[in-house]
Structure 1
Amino acid sequence: MVESIITFRNVTKKYKDTVILENINFELKKGRFYTLLGPSGCGKTTTLSLIAGFTDESSGDILMNGQKINHIPANKRKINTVFQDYALFPHLNVFDNIAFGLKIKKKSKNEINEKVTEALKMVRLPGFGDREISEMSGGQKQRVAIARALVNEPEVLLLDEPLSALDMKLRKEMQYELRELQKRLGITFIFVTHDQEEALAMSDEIFVMNHGEIIQRGTPTAIYDEPLNKFVADFIGESNIIEGTMIADGKVKFVGKTFECVDGGMNANELIEVVLRPEDIEVTESQKGKVVGTVISQLFRGVHYEIVCTDIDGNEWKIRSTKKVEVGASVGLNFEPEAIHIMRANESEAEFYQRLEKYQGS
């Protein structure tokens, strides 16, 4: 059984009368890659600061390895942070930047040399110790910041949007390197981002946050395939969201037609919202489609076309397809029952998973 490493129990954080986090509860397991995902101001960086000990909670308990750490200062926690701007010392070379914390702890010269050399190998920068920080690229600076954190042998590594300043190509390379590093070291990583593609690519588990609350948590696949509500569906990838009615288990009505689906556990004739992902919709001839649409735009994205259509009711449909169509053309849109996801209004995360479990077990 995997042990928990960080636990939040009814944690609230307020600044004067402004609530930043409200009654947050979660448990993080050792050796996993977690991502806090959400828009600016949702509370994800505050959550990281509470774990690190940079700020104090207003109420509730924070535990590490089962022990309360509320009043333990940041420098006494086996937690290190990699910041968005890396916070490297420009007047120190790479070696001295990495060794800084060890020197503060008055480690021996031999131990410092050994640990810094090993840390440079971990981040694939062997032999870079004498380089000046000004001579390093953005990706290399990020690796130095990670090495400086790892050299202190933390049990938890916090990463506060560390890839945001990198260009797209380097950002994708560093996503892969960070994920591989976490797997290799077995340390718990807690990563903060507002980039949903980054979260999907890197995480074992994602916490989607908004307005100081955790809206939904789960694996990337579970959250992408089964969004709890419109906010999650819109924030995690692109979605077609259409109003409909749940006729019965496995049957849903939208755009004036009844379709088979795989969801259930709701009331007969309950008003719901239907989610269809753009990549789950196939473009075909108009007479062969389950829905008929008129193409209003098309963009080539390299590996696929991004197509937008409108149906007879004025609903807008986004489609990703390898087929090229003409703007103004009438096309058919097809989708499988498994592609239709149903969302219930105002359903909590607990109610959502209880309904799924009950329906899937029936």
Structure 2
Amino acid sequence: MTKQAIITFENVTKSYGDTQVLKNVNVEIEKGKFYTLLGPSGCGKTTILRLIAGFTELTSGTITLNGQEVQELPPNKRKVNTVFQDYALFPHMNVFENIAFGLRLKKLPKDVIQEKVSEALKMVRLSGYENREIAQMSGGQQQRVAIARALVNEPEVLLLDEPLSALDLKLRTEMQYELRELQQRLGITFIFVTHDQEEALAMSDEIFVLNQGEIVQSGTPVDIYDEPINRYVADFIGESNIIPGIMKEDYLVEFVGKEFECSDAGMRPNEKIEIVIRPEDLTIKPVNLGKLNVEVDTQLFRGVHYEIICYDEVGNEWMIHSTKKAEIGSKVSLDFEADDIHVMRFGESEEEFDARLESYEDEVEVDE
């Protein structure tokens, strides 16, 4: 466990009968960071939250909170609070009463409750709303009340289970900024669950990408976007062009029958691989003036760019994001840099992936 780790999962498994929801999960959560559990429905991300909160018992493995095993620790003894997807506010109580509910269960003095609720409302910018009825508040305001109710208990970890999913797009974006700013201001650990990759990229210090009960990749948003470990991650995080290829040798890859310089190494000569190039990394040039000729098939205007679909000579589909229109049916050339090509090996684990990256990054440092 690292010096700043607040939560650890060691070989954690969770099963319901014959259904395994989590498979040998190992996680380290540091104090004061914003973490996101990202994945589709049923991948196990909410189960991880429930295990941390104490709402679910693990099947095997160990979970620690501040170095203490929590298997026998009831939820009310853990310095953890949860904001649920539906907020779970009490409609018959006003804002003050909702936030004060947990404090009253602890039988705190009235003046202490008043002070703590006022401070929590100030944190979420709802000062003056104490007497407002829940039904009179917007979705964004209700979410802030739910967050204030969680924060008033002074948790070390705040768990957020898809709390933005019911909001419209504009409000959702605003709340992303507010949640991130709040976490940075308070300095406590946030663990956020979502299936929205843009949300994860925008808000997180670190992302755990889950698939079928396993963490397939973890890292910063930039690391995961720029260096996806496999097709699943590349597809799930942003738009991707994924093309079959061959790793000829270190820093040289072949696809569509042509060889290109790249920035990857550490593989077997002539190993079959897949390459990823992001749509925004492709530039359209006149035919034969780029690295790869394609034919324009369709295009859609997406507001900030055109989404252009092309096909190369062997039938691979290419998506390009460009601020300039293309002519449907025309032949054009795609240009890209060596650093824009990311190589993915089949069946590579995250440990093997990290070790390979470190090995040739060290080589580059030595050469310099």
> TM-score, normalising length from structure 1?
0.99
User: Quick one: distance in 1 between partners of 2:305 and 2:288?
Assistant: 23
Number of the residue aligned with 1:335: 336
Number of the residue aligned with 1:133: 134
Q: How many residues align?
A: 362
1:293 is displaced (CA, Å) by 1.0
Number of the residue aligned with 2:321: 320
Q: Secondary structure at the match of 2:121?
A: helix
Answer yes or no: is 1:100 the counterpart of 2:101: yes
Structure 1 segment 297-316 matched on structure 2, within 5 A = 297-316=298-317
Q: What letter matches 1:266 in structure 2?
A: M
Number of the residue aligned with 1:275: 276
User: Quick one: distance in 1 between partners of 2:71 and 2:205?
Assistant: 26
Number of the residue aligned with 2:227: 226
| Superposition RMSD in Å | 0.7
1:326 is displaced (CA, Å) by 1.5
List per-residue Cα deviations over 1:291-350 (Å, max 9, x = no partner). 111111111111111110011100000010011111111111100000000000000000
Number of the residue aligned with 1:81: 82
Q: Which moved more, 1:166-175 or 1:293-302?
A: 293-302
1:261 is displaced (CA, Å) by 0.5
User: Quick one: distance in 2 between partners of 1:180 and 1:70?
Assistant: 32
User: Quick one: distance in 1 between partners of 2:279 and 2:97?
Assistant: 50
Number of the residue aligned with 1:143: 144
Q: Secondary structure at the match of 2:88?
A: coil
Q: What letter matches 1:119 in structure 2?
A: A
1:286 is displaced (CA, Å) by 1.0
Q: Secondary structure at the match of 2:351?
A: helix
Q: Secondary structure at the match of 2:116?
A: helix
List per-residue Cα deviations over 1:133-176 (Å, max 9, x = no partner). 00000000000000000000000000000000000000000000
Number of the residue aligned with 1:49: 50
What fraction of aligned residue pairs are identical, expressed as a percent? 69
Q: What letter matches 1:113 in structure 2?
A: Q
1:2 is displaced (CA, Å) by 5.2
Flag the 1:2–1:168 CA change in 2: closer, same or farther, 3 A.
farther
Q: What letter matches 2:359 in structure 1?
A: K
Number of the residue aligned with 1:206: 207
> TM-score, normalising length from structure 2?
0.98
Q: Which moved more, 1:93-102 or 1:284-293?
A: 284-293
Q: What letter matches 2:223 in structure 1?
A: A
Structure 1 segment 285-300 matched on structure 2, within 5 A = 285-300=286-301
Q: What letter matches 2:221 in structure 1?
A: P
List per-residue Cα deviations over 1:183-216 (Å, max 9, x = no partner). 0000100000000000000000000000000000
Q: Is the 8 A contact 1:252 1:258 kept in 2?
A: yes
Number of the residue aligned with 2:41: 40
Name structure 1 gaps, 5 residues minimum: none
Name structure 2 gaps, 5 residues minimum: 364-368
Q: Is the 8 A contact 1:2 1:30 kept in 2?
A: no
User: Quick one: distance in 1 between partners of 2:328 and 2:62?
Assistant: 57
